Structure formats: C-alpha cells, structure tokens
Amino acid sequence: MKILVTGANGFVGHAVWRRLNSLRGVHVVGSLRQASPLKDLMASSVILGDLTAQTNWSAVLPGTGVVVHTAARVHVMRDTTNDPLTEFRRVNVLGTLQLGRQAAAAGVARFVYVSSAKVNGEASLPDCAFRETAAPRHQDAYGVSKHEAEQGLLELAAVTGMEVVIIRPPVVYGPGVKANFASLMHAVQRGWPLPLAAIHNQRSLVALDNLVDFIITCAMHPKAANETFLVSDGHDLSTTELASGLAKAMNVPIRLLPLPVWILQATARLAG
C-alpha cells in the first residue's frame, strides 16, 4: 500500500512517516514545504512548497491508497498578520481542499485529516468533556479554519465516495515538542519559580507515540471510515500536576507558588 504523508518533516508528520517506514508492505511517500537535512526523508519525499489552492499534487498522488494530511498553518500565540483568519483559511482550508479534490480524482481510497480539538473549543464545560458529536465552539481563527476544512472534506467524501477520517488531538507532547509545552519544560528545568500551585484544572494531552499509533490505525482500519475522533492519553492532568510530572521526569526540584488564579488571569490579559 502506498501512503502519502503531508508535512513529513513536521512534529507529527515526521513521526508518522518514520513509523510507516518500519511497516512491511507499506510504501510511504512524504511531501515537504522545503528541503530537509534528513537524507532518508529527502530520499522518499517530494518538495511541493506552500500548501495553497494552487498546489499541484500530481507528482505524489498516482497509486496512492491513503493520504495522511498533517501539513497545516499551525496555531500561534502571537500572530503578526493583519488578517489571521484569511491566512489560516488560505493554507488550512483552501490548501487542504485542493489536496482532497486531487486525491479523490486520483482514486485515493481514504483521506486521514489531522484536525484539532480547538474545533470543539478552548475549554469544556464543567463535568462535560468534549464529544465528537458536539456542536463546534471554536474561538480562534485556527479553530475556525480546521472546522471549515473538516466540513469541506466531508462534503467531498459525500460526492466522491472517498473515505474521510477526522482526528482532533489536544496538545501533543513528545521528543521535539515546541511552543508552550517546550516553554514550560524549559522553565521547570531551569528551576524557575512558577505560580501554578493553585491551579486545579484538568487538561487532556496525547503523547506523540500514542497519536501516531492512532493515526496509523485510522489509516488502515475498515471501521474508521468516515468517522471523527477525539484522542488523548486517557489521563487528564492539572497544570500543577503537569509541571510536577515534568520535574520528576527531568529529575529536578520543582518550585510552585500558590498564586490565585484570578491574579494569573489578570496578568495574562495585561501581557496580551
């Protein structure tokens, strides 16, 4: 079976590409935005540039049975563009649907789309976890773009018969993680005092290896066709527990201060 992994040099995409390469009977091809220093990845990948409505996928789609689409314009905390929603739509919606249409035309049987739990919202209601069947409550441009791409792919599936599987992961952690998770790890490792001792939230996370296993299952399992999944490790953590767990894993002392949550919220608003 030939499987195309888009964004094969990304945090999730490269892990999927590497795992698929270890499976017998699978011929995996990656698509890249730009050249990678990894020689083995470059040997089985094609550089296609930006993901847009004009991207031509004809070099990688013939003979492909499954597309695993991880490439995206990712969520950023401080977006410097004047119109973030337009930029997210350009890549995550128009670029994704361009790939979807060409994949269906090329006879691809299944399209696995790595979306985001941000489609469900920023926080679940008390004692009411996110569900795949719940109405979307996205609150930022990234979440909007992911939901619109999902809807477009489902419409495409209804017209063409191509199977679509949607996966909405929460925060993903593992080797090479960046963004806020990496910042927290850095602060814990440096021994900085953190005002997190009074936070009693519950946060779902998913380990990179667990997510990769689930993506590959969704690529191959017959019952995954045309389903939407939320996925996590199954063990939710408070921010306090997360910081303490990181310190234990890195064998460093943790310094947590019990600052009231309302002070943290006010400080965060002032800081933008």
Q: Which residues of the chain have pLDDT under 50?
A: none
User: What 3-state class would DSSP assign to 228?
Assistant: strand
144 CB-contact burial (10 Å; exposed 0-12 / middle 13-18 / buried 19+): buried
The active-site residue out of 142, 149, 215, 240 is 142
Cα gap 143→74, rounded to integer Å: 10
Please say whether the beta carbons of 102 and 60 come within 8 A.
Answer: no
What is the model's pTM?
Answer: 0.92
Q: List the chain domain ranges.
A: 2-174+205-230
* Domain range 2-174+205-230, its CATH number among 3.40.47.10, 3.40.50.720, 3.40.50.2300, 3.40.50.10090: 3.40.50.720
Please say whether the beta carbons of 29 and 5 come within 8 A.
Answer: yes
pLDDT digits (tens, 9 = 90+) for 139-152: 899 999 999 999 99
User: Residue 108: its pLDDT value, please?
Assistant: 98
User: Residue 186: its pLDDT value, please?
Assistant: 94
Q: Please confirm, yes or no, whether 113 is among the known catalytic residues.
A: no
User: Residue 79: its pLDDT value, please?
Assistant: 64
User: Residue 241: its pLDDT value, please?
Assistant: 94
Q: Cα 100–176–235 angle (5° rounding)?
A: 85
